[in-house]
Structure 1
C-alpha cells in the first residue's frame, strides 16, 4: 500500500505543493521540531510490511537528524520502504545503497542546520522588537480565534480545544482570557 505523509508547520499553511498519489494520506499541520504529531503516530500504527511511505521531501518527515534516522529505522525495521520525491531517494530494509545513507545524513544535517539558523534569527528579531517595545507576540488568526471562542462557549475544555484545533494550550488560554475581558468591558 502506498501511504503519503504530508506536513506543514501551521494550520494556516496549505499542502498544495505536496500532492502525492497514494492509497491513503496522513496530514499533519504542526511543526516538525519533534515526532509528537497526530498523523505521524497514526501512520506508524497503520504501516505493514511491504508498504511504501512517501514524503514530498526529507524536511516534511523530520527537521532534525536524530528524529529522521529514528523514523527511517522504525519504518524499514517493519519492512516498510520510505521514499522521498524531491530527493529521489528510497530507503528499505536491505540497506544496499550506502550512497543513500550518506545523502540522508548530509541532507538531514542541512535541514536541521536550516531550522536552527531560522530559530536563531527569529530570537534575534524578537529581542530587537522587544527592546524597541513593538513586540506583541504571535498573532492568532481571526478564524482560529473564533473557533476557540465558539468551542469554549459550547463547553469544550481548554485542553480539548487546543487538541482539536491543533494549537497550544497557552494560545487557547490567551484567546479565552481576552474574550472574557472584552465581554466584561462590554457590560
Structure 2
C-alpha cells in the first residue's frame, strides 16, 4: 500500500499567498492550510489534520516553525502523530520522524533547538508589538 502524503501549511495572514510554501513541499495527496499568526493557537486546519490522522500517512511541513510556536506544542504534535503511525518530515530543516522508530539524535536536537528559536521569536514579536 502506498504512503499517503499530506501537506500542512500555515501562512501568517489571509492576504498572504501560500503558493510558495505549496511549491516547497511538492506534490501531495491532500493538504491543509491555516491562515494564522505564529502566536495564534487557533489553527482549525491543523485540528482537521489531527482528526484526519491515520496510520500510513506521512505529513510534509515546510519548516519546523509552522505547526507550533512552542517547543512543548511541537513535541506534543510529533509524539501524537508518530504514536498514531504517522510520519512527519520538515522540508527546510530536513528532520524526519517516523512511527515506532528511534529518531536520530541530530534530528531530535534540530527539533528542540529550532523549536526553541521559533518560540523565542514569537515572544519577541509580541513584546515589540506591545511596545
Instruction: Give TM-score, length-normalised by structure 2.
Output: 0.88
Q: CA deviation at 1:34?
A: 4.9
Unaligned 5+ runs, structure 1: 125-187
For 2:129, the equivalent position in structure 1 comes to 122
Larger radius of gyration: 1
- Counterpart of 1:9 (choices 12, 27, 39) is 12
Aligned residues: 124
2:120 paired with 1:113 = yes
- Counterpart of 1:76 (choices 82, 90, 93) is 82
- Counterpart of 1:44 (choices 41, 50, 65) is 50
The whole-number CA distance in structure 2 between the counterparts of 1:45 and 1:56 is: 20
* Other structure's SS at 2:8 match: strand
* Other structure's SS at 1:83 match: strand
The structure that is strand-richer by fraction is: 2
* Other structure's SS at 1:61 match: coil
1:70-96 CA-partner distances (Å, limit 9, x unpaired): 111110110101000000110112123
For 1:103, the equivalent position in structure 2 comes to 110
Q: CA deviation at 1:17?
A: 1.8
* Other structure's SS at 1:54 match: strand
Q: How does 1:47-66 map to 2 (within 5 A)?
A: 47-66=53-72
Unaligned 5+ runs, structure 2: none
For 1:170, the equivalent position in structure 2 comes to none
* Other structure's SS at 1:4 match: strand
1:93-151 CA-partner distances (Å, limit 9, x unpaired): 21231211111000000011111111111111xxxxxxxxxxxxxxxxxxxxxxxxxxx
Show structure 1 runs of 4+ deviating over 6 A: none
Q: How does 1:149-164 map to 2 (within 5 A)?
A: none
1:3-42 CA-partner distances (Å, limit 9, x unpaired): 0001112111111220131000101111233543111111
| Cα distance change, pair 74–35 in 1 and its aligned pair in 2 (3 A) | farther
The whole-number CA distance in structure 2 between the counterparts of 1:17 and 1:114 is: 22
For 2:29, the equivalent position in structure 1 comes to 23
